[in-house]
Amino acid sequence: MTTFGYFLASEEHGPNELVRQAQLAERSGFEALWISDHYHPWLDEQGHSPFVWSVIGGVAATTRLPVTTAVTCPLVRIHPAVIAQAAATSAAMTEGRFRLGVGTGEALNEHITGSVWPPAEERLEMLEEAVEVMRKLWQGDLVTHRGAHYRVDTARLYTLPDQPPPIYMSGFGAKSVELAGRIADGYISTGPAAEMVELFHKSGGEGKPAAGGLKVCYAPDEAQARATIHRLWPTQGIKGEAAQLLPLPRHFEQLAEMVTEEEAAGSSPCGPDPEVHVEAIRKYVEAGFDEVYISQIGPDQDAFFSFYSEEVLPRLR
């Protein structure tokens, strides 16, 4: 059976609102949570970017849903030894319901410490080593590590969950998906690409879960929903490597001026027709995803949860 979860958008909402949405998701019949991990939002218009680990603590204290970061970059902004501690604490607080989603990140969030933003191939090497470091620390032993990219000096984690948190890895190209199959416990994507799920399984991920996420916009009127997407997430229409390379929200705003409403909303189900939403979600199920996470764009969260609870989730099940 496919798990249907809710995707908490840290770029759009403050910490208390995210915790409230997690509670609404649980009451509405969603079975799990994703939460994005950013330092900056994509656009100033989105308006938020709280520290994800504090929010996870609030979610852990007020819901019983599994939580996955989608995704954390343990490469530059925060050392993997510190991410290992944060993830271990989150797993302990959720009593084993936390999963660490990781990826190679974006300059938008990672450039803030003044470090050089590495090229994609080097970031994949860094991620593989970061995963190695975190798994060593989760064993509870005293760890000293001298690697190509990271140093750890006699570090030990004292607060640990009963079992180490699973690591899910995002991947959009062949190299990253192959690495995910080799080193991760699960795969994360934001598109219904069956070929990538198949590649993950062939690369060592056979029998491991694949999780996909999409953005939607419920509104009483489809045109209103499309306008909301174009205002808040025109970045969905930006192609290529810009998402990994640009350092500031204003750079994305400049590119977004060239994105039409159709390009921004083209991949997102819009409006009040439940079948439109169901059809988009089923594409992920048919592509082989075991978990599908849905994020509502815009401020009308309460109406969204009522709509999905009454009209969409029953159809999917």
Of 51, 63, 58, 80, whose CA–CA distance to 27 is shortest? 63
The answer to whether residue 257 is catalytic is no
- Going by the DSSP 8-state scheme, the letter that residue 257 receives in this structure is T
β-pair partners for 290: none
Token pair for 221: 């009127």
CB 187 within 8 A of CB 205: yes
Name the strand (E) or helix (H) holding 187: strand 186-189
Neighbours of 121 (CB within 10 A): 10
Task: Catalytic residue, from 26, 106, 110, 291: name it.
Answer: 106
Question: Could you say which DSSP state residue 215 is in?
Answer: E
Cα–Cα distance between 62 and 22 in angstroms, integer? 8
Measure the CA–CA gap between 258 and 241, rounded to whole angstroms.
16
Catalytic residue among 11, 13, 26, 38: 38
269 contacts 277 by C-beta, under 8 angstroms: yes
How far is Cα 237 from Cα 280, in angstroms, rounded to an integer?
Answer: 17
Count of CA atoms in the C-beta half-sphere (13 A) of 63: 27
**Count of helices and strands (H, E) across the chain:** 14, 10
- Please count the residues of the chain: 317
Integer CA distances (angstroms), 88 to 57, 64, 72, 122, 212, in order: 12, 17, 14, 26, 24
38 is a catalytic site residue = yes
Name the residues annotated as catalytic: 38, 106
